[in-house]
């Protein structure tokens, strides 16, 4: 075994990746990100999970693979077509609920300090509506974001958004975090105070 080989991927992943390619959806999470999500999910038995940005269900698939039978995942996306792909592959799992609509609106309706892990994989939850998102995270809960290293697809002005985001998280007294400069670049933060 090598550090460069991922552990066995979830059973449904290959089918989802094929559908993702068919749909020309280029924003799906990479396997190392998925593997991290699965590992973190496994650390939260009976956990409540939130994913902002379902896409075609790649991140959801990895999260579900780490979650125990008593855990639940809410995943949201405002693009009905990509969410439909995720729903087709993952919808029979009773632990997952799909919300199709604007995440910022939905976030306002969620209970405070109710999630054990949030994968904020969309502009809302990351670049805006972050306070609303962190409000819903339990003390001791994990906030996970990726796509923090420069990507060829970025608009020229996006780097400054990312720099601001990282600085704000670094300076937040309610978070302890680690920056992981692999894959697309990640932060894993723990909420330590409200």
Q: Mask: binding to ligand SAM, 54-93, rule CB under 6 A, as x and -?
A: -x--xx----------------xxxx--x-----------
Among 53, 66, 141, 185, binds ligand SAM (CB under 6 A): 53
Task: Kindly tell me which of 107 and 175 has the beta carbon lying closer to ligand SAM.
Answer: 107
Residues 19-38 that bind ligand SAM (CB under 6 A): 27-29
Piece of 53-61, 87-95, 165-173, 180-188 that binds ligand SAM (CB under 6 A)? 53-61
Closer to ligand SAM by CB, 29 or 183: give it.
29
Is residue 17 at the binding interface for ligand SAM, with CB under 6 A as the rule? no
Ramachandran assignment for 47, one of left (phi > 0), alpha (psi -120 to 50 degrees), beta (any other):
beta
| Sign of the C-alpha dihedral computed for residues 50, 151, 65 and 179 taken in this order | negative
**Scanning residues 152 to 171, which ones bind ligand SAM (CB under 6 A)?**
none
Of the candidates 97, 95, 193, 57, the residue with the CA atom closest to the CA atom of residue 137: 193
Nearer to ligand SAM, 152 or 173 (CB): 152
CA atoms within 13 A on the CB side of 18: 7
The count of chain residues that interact with ligand SAM, using the rule CB under 6 A, is: 20
Q: In sequence order, what are the residues at sequence separation of 6 or more whose Cβ sits closer than 8 angstroms to the Cβ of residue 99?
A: 74, 75, 76, 77, 106
Lay out the site mask for ligand SAM across 93-112 (x = CB under 6 A, - = otherwise). Answer: ---------xxx--------
- Whole-angstrom CA distances from 128 to 2, 84, 168 are 38, 25, 12
With H, G, I as helix, E, B as strand and everything else as coil, classify residue 102.
coil
Residues 6 or more apart whose Cβ sits within 8 Å of residue 18? none
Residues that bind ligand SAM (CB under 6 A): 27-29, 51, 53, 55, 58-59, 76-79, 82, 102-104, 121-124
């Amino acid at each position: 075994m090598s550090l460069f080989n991922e552990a066995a991927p979830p059973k449904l992943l290959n089918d989802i990746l094929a559908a993702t390619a068919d749909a020309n959806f280029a924003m799906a999470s990479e396997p190392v990100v998925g593997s991290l999500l699965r590992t973190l999910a496994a650390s939260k038995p009976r956990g409540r999970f939130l994913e902002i940005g379902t896409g075609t269900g790649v991140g959801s698939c990895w999260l579900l693979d780490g979650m125990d039978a008593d855990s639940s995942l809410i995943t949201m996306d405002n693009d009905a077509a990509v969410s439909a792909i995720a729903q087709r592959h993952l919808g029979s799992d009773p632990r997952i609920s799909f919300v199709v609509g604007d995440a910022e609106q939905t976030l306002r309706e969620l209970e405070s300090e109710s999630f054990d892990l949030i994968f904020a994989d969309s502009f809302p939850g990351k670049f805006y509506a972050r306070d609303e998102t962190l409000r819903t995270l339990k003390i001791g809960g994990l906030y996970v974001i990726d796509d923090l290293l420069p990507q060829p697809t970025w608009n020229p002005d996006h780097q400054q958004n990312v720099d601001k985001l990282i600085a704000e998280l670094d300076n937040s007294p309610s978070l302890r975090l680690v920056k992981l400069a692999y894959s697309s670049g990640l932060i894993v933060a723990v909420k330590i105070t409200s």
